[in-house]
Structure 1
């Protein structure tokens, strides 16, 4: 059996910029150096954020501190502490052992001859080298300011990379709702970093409602992003922003406040579009940034509208599937002999396992949909690993109306398709379900499909039974194997 299944990996966590202060790690064995450094930088501010100091007095303490604070912007690192090269070992630990390539390392030494600048710069991944005798308060200020700018830019590039990864990964399937939400999330993250300076960037969509109060946050970046997701936009905005929301929605325009921006994103297929909110700006936007914001507002909703149209299609198809299942169940009940061999085998097995008459009919009806979908899965199973993803997305799109349909038969078919690679012994995919945790209807449909394929080969009844016995308590339960074995001739006659 194939081991291909339809689930994506969880996203990985990335480095974040601080919300309140820039973390500075001071590593030096002289307490007065810590005191003087804090005093010299006491009134320092960059992008509206001050500094937060953490002290270590030895190489060992520095390693612990670097591990506890991977989001530190700068390490002011002494070379000579408990040993002549303790600081160099700390720098190597930060870069290589814990893999922190973001933190800027400024090496400070009172004995430059013991750690020559050229040698240290070449052999260690540090960002600046200063002699304590030349490091005045002004030069320290300059070194910290330039290092913070570098740190900000490096984190910005990393966030842009993550945002682009989301966009690129999602652009392979703009027809899946989950992928589109990921896509918009990536765009919001990209916009937040390209423009910069906002405490929060929120994207709220209105759905079918024309009431701006019903706009729900679909993508969020920055402070409290996780908590704001799926909340109503008006309940999440500061009070001084709220009076402008209705105006922006009515005018379909953009409003620039003192520390916020509201931009309406028009929709072509819903009575209301979406709202982009950038809150807590620390500066005025440039003309080019305003143009970028306008471009985003004009175009991002077009992509979201595509998904909205597909949602509407899914709902229509789900309603049609529900109605079709009613007619199909009546047809199966009245004309079982006119159904495909697979449906007849399913009906016979469900009856043999003593399911209720209603459940037998629902499972046989589900078989009509399962059989059609199985043909699509068979195409995916034949694809090389590099081609599996597009097939997965195609299949998810194809069976989504089954999941949404208000029909027991449709739900049986959908669940069986999700459990088609599970095994009775728990060694299957995607969840490793075992024994009775696999729905009995899924087991029946899986056995009916397996038996139908075996019966299509040039095998005797005994040969089929032998093959099934090999799967006893592995792929299939003993009860299912026994049910087929005991009725092999009757079931075989349904295939011919």
Structure 2
């Protein structure tokens, strides 16, 4: 029996039950071609997916079908329809207007002379060219199989390309994270982007430093470092306390075998690096079962997670050390000048004012680390001048004023951002908003906001720490200097948050009698 295609009467399209079907667009102005194509491919199945036929009878209809369907796998495209080159215009529209380079285009023509194969292949991005007279049922089957394989492989390559882009982008974002608070959010965001979202996540490690430090004699003992969703506020708890059952078994398997474990609704990824014994990333509530491409991407991603974690921990260690050194210098100055816990309170007050003034977290960190050195210049002044609260004569005032420049000169040569900020604050925190301060007579926004915040915090705490003044008196004095000594906007912020600031002072009372420096 011949396998040549025979045109027959149009019949009702067979309905397929599967929702996952390959879309095939038939474009031809002859109804018989649509009917016989559906008949010839009616029982076609490739990779457990049947075909879904879409019909168009001219070039304009074909273009509209492509606008409505972005997942057409194969188009069987007639060349000569309403015009001699209608099919070629459709092919050009697919590739150059829609920039669709995935759909496989098979040209079918009953008049090869109208569009010579050599010219069409050279000038148009098509995938096959067949004359209707040579296209038997078997050849049509072979052509469609070949086209679908190409479509599948191209989509697989594209999926992997997009996944790798996400891996590169995600890894870059992780390595830019410098705070523990943002670490798990970064992981969840990037891995969720790759997988389509998750509900809960927890990062478990054997490290002994974290938001809530924990200790273990067994380096293989895992603790929650940070979590999201159902695992929030679990820091410091053991693995067995937060994950149980089959999920716990999967976690132990992944850690012991240094591998990834994938299940229908969760995954466990071992994250290893040279500097740590390794950690686990557990993610629950996956939106779908992971395919092989997903698993490869998770594996690549997990290799970078621990390195990013090490980076965060190293940054934290450096910052903590830096902070402690500066705080100890500040505490030594407090003791030397007898100002009680003035510097400790100032740091917290600056944080409140700066936060409400719109400083970023990085700016707040820099400000609060630099503030303890605001009076570093006083170390070169006579002690009785530095703490005198009475009236000073002209010579004494000139001597006291000079300590701003002294502090700046002590710190200015550093290339470290925090020390450079401290140098600026040491020099300019006694500049006045109206230009009547010292040492350079700066005014308004020409005074760095760090210095304006420090000046206000310094003055408020100094005034309030004097036992003979109550909060109302202090507020009135600060108000009287609004727009004169202090930035009006910052004064408004301080007064709006006065209860929080007053609580800071009450929580850090001075011990015994302390001398108070001149501020206003």
TM-score when normalising by structure 2:
0.46
Return the structure number with greater relative CO, CA threshold 8 A, min gap 6: 1
